[in-house]
Amino acid sequence: MACTTCSTSGGGSVKGCKNNGTCGTDSCNKLTVFDWLANMNLPNGEAPFDCVEVRFKNGRKEFYRNAEKLTLSMGDIVATEASPGHDVGIVTLTGELVKIQMKKKGVAPNAPEILKIYRKASQKDIDIWSNARDKEEPMKVRARELAIMLKLEMKISDIEFQGDGSKATFYYTANDRVDFRQLIKDFAREFSIRIEMKQVGFRQEASRLGGIGSCGRELCCSTWLTDFRSVNTSAARYQQLSLNPQKLAGQCGKLKCCLNYELDTYMDALQDFPDFDTKLQTEKGDAVCQKQDIFKGLMWFAYTDNYANWHTIGIEQVKEIIAENKQKRKVSSLEDYAIEVEVEAKTEFSNVVGQESLTRFDVPKRSNKKRKKKGGGREGVEVSGGNPNQNKGPRENRGPRPEGKGPQDRRPQGDKPRSEGERGPKPQQNRERGPKPEMRQDQQRQQRPAQAPRNDAERGPKPQAEGQNPNAEGAPKKNNKNRNRNRNRNRDKGSSNEPQN
């Protein structure tokens, strides 16, 4: 089967195999083995090994016996024995290296329970296998919905179809035992297929799904790590790591497997160190260990009555003090054995290449304030933010000079501001800024159509607040809205237009 990662669709764009590193060739497989014996011939009379390694979805590998003596090579798609029916997988390893892999997995080469390979997969087998793989994702979504409806404390992480499409294996994770008998009945009724439930651990789930770790690389369990050893918090203590669950836990929610990678090196280095709980007896008092640097061979001690002041002592000096204490003798003080530790100076980076500042492309922020007119000896001249020399040129090209502005108004830059007497009267154009608001109202009154304002005699007496008829003679006329308002107000107060007795 050719790898479809490099194949292109009809539009010329990369199509991609979308198998998450489990396509049919050796280019992007995970958990692959390099066959370094592929180009070597077997000795005369030696028959090739009759078992091959076949990989299925998500890196699951099984060993099968080539009973039909088929010519198989890495990347061939084969139909293998299954119960019931047959399964479809990809050959990942052949030859003598299969013996080493079987020994590593604890499988005997002559074991009778090893299944056999039927044939190389035909095009019909590949089409049925591909169609079954396309159903896995929508089926997983529906299966999770059914599990939630039954309120089961489990998580369905993945579904794997058999090659002939006759059976589906549901992989799930759970903290406790789950009674999924009713769930299997619902699955069989919903999907009309044979159901098999298989519980996996949280680490196995992460290896099947894959992902990117906190180091920025692919997860070790999904690329090369095959055996999952137990990891406990003592590995972090020996390496003096912070016991923060968020930093020590991986994507599976368990402690990271990489905590065991350097543990042996730390354990070998700690063999020369005294016990961390050892107390040193001095004439100034007892001292306890606060910190230790494993690879530099240093320990920090502090007196029990002054924990803030630490003294740096080498492990050889610590052993000398312990030997003196075993003979029931106290040393004078820790200061006599303390050593000075050089503090690494901070490196100051300088611009040795001659590069400019990284902020040279930043656009300066403009002020949102409105530009005001500049006062002083040049009233009425509007100040702009452009080039001050932009209006310079021949006098005839500048246009007419504004009133009140001439050569006598200019003065060289840097002169002191002149007093009011030296300035002279201000230009008339700045004084006549327009009529005041009162004058504008008077003008508006004068511009009204011919109706002079009436005095008090012509207007008549003002209506009283209560008990007066607004329609009486001499009362000012009001519109209907005001008349209705007064009428309602008199009705609420119990007043009437008729005189009261």
For residue 58, pLDDT beyond 70: yes
For residue 25, pLDDT beyond 90: no
pLDDT band at 501 (very low <50, low <70, confident <90, very high): very low
Our measurement of the distance from residue 483's CA atom to the centroid of its chain's CA atoms, rounded to an integer in Å, reads 71
For 441-464, b/e burial (b = at least 16 CB within 10 A) is eeeeeeeeeeeeeeeeeeeeeeee
The DSSP code for 311 is E
Average pLDDT over residues 478-487: 62
For 151-174, b/e burial (b = at least 16 CB within 10 A) is ebebebbbbbbbbbbbbbbbbbbe
- Give the CA distances from residue 408 to residues 402, 404, 424, in Å, rounded to whole numbers and listed in that order: 13, 10, 12
- pLDDT at residue 48 in the model: 83
- pLDDT at residue 167 in the model: 93
- pLDDT at residue 183 in the model: 93
CB-side exposure of 23: number of CA atoms within 13 Å? Answer: 17
Residue 414 amino acid letter:
G
Paired sense of beta strands 194-199 and 167-173, if any: parallel
**Residue with more model confidence, 447 or 88:** 88
pTM exceeds cut of 0.85: no
For residue 115, pLDDT beyond 90: yes
Rounded-to-integer distance, Cα 58 and Cα 323, Å: 59
**Residue with more model confidence, 115 or 480:** 115
Proportion of the chain above pLDDT 90, given as a percent: 29
Average pLDDT over residues 281-299: 90
pLDDT band at 360 (very low <50, low <70, confident <90, very high): low
**Residue with more model confidence, 191 or 388:** 191
Give, in words, the CATH class of 130-208.
alpha beta
pLDDT band at 249 (very low <50, low <70, confident <90, very high): very high
Q: Which candidate, 27, 26, 166, 135, places its Cα nearest to that of 90?
A: 26
pLDDT band at 463 (very low <50, low <70, confident <90, very high): low
pLDDT band at 462 (very low <50, low <70, confident <90, very high): low
For residue 417, pLDDT beyond 80: no
For residue 289, pLDDT beyond 80: yes
Task: For Cα atoms 247, 250, 256, give the angle at the middle one, nearest 5 degrees.
Answer: 85
Residue 92 amino acid letter:
T
Span of 71-80, 300-309, 416-425 with lowest mean pLDDT: 416-425
Q: Are 468 and 497 in contact (CB under 8 A)?
A: no
Domain boundaries, the chain: 130-208, 229-269, 272-326
Rounded-to-integer distance, Cα 258 and Cα 247, Å: 12
- pLDDT at residue 277 in the model: 87
For residue 448, pLDDT beyond 80: no
pLDDT band at 358 (very low <50, low <70, confident <90, very high): low
Rounded-to-integer distance, Cα 436 and Cα 441, Å: 9
The structure tokens listed for 136 are 């896995």
- pLDDT at residue 147 in the model: 94
For residue 397, pLDDT beyond 50: yes
Q: Residue 55 burial by CB count (10 A; 0-12/13-18/19+): exposed, middle or buried?
A: buried
Rounded-to-integer distance, Cα 290 and Cα 204, Å: 39
Q: What is the pLDDT of residues 300-355, one digit of tens each?
A: 999 998 888 899 999 999 999 999 999 988 998 888 888 877 666 666 666 655 55
Span of 18-22, 33-37, 184-188 with lowest mean pLDDT: 18-22
Task: For Cα atoms 195, 198, 202, give the angle at the middle one, nearest 5 degrees.
Answer: 145
- pLDDT at residue 493 in the model: 58
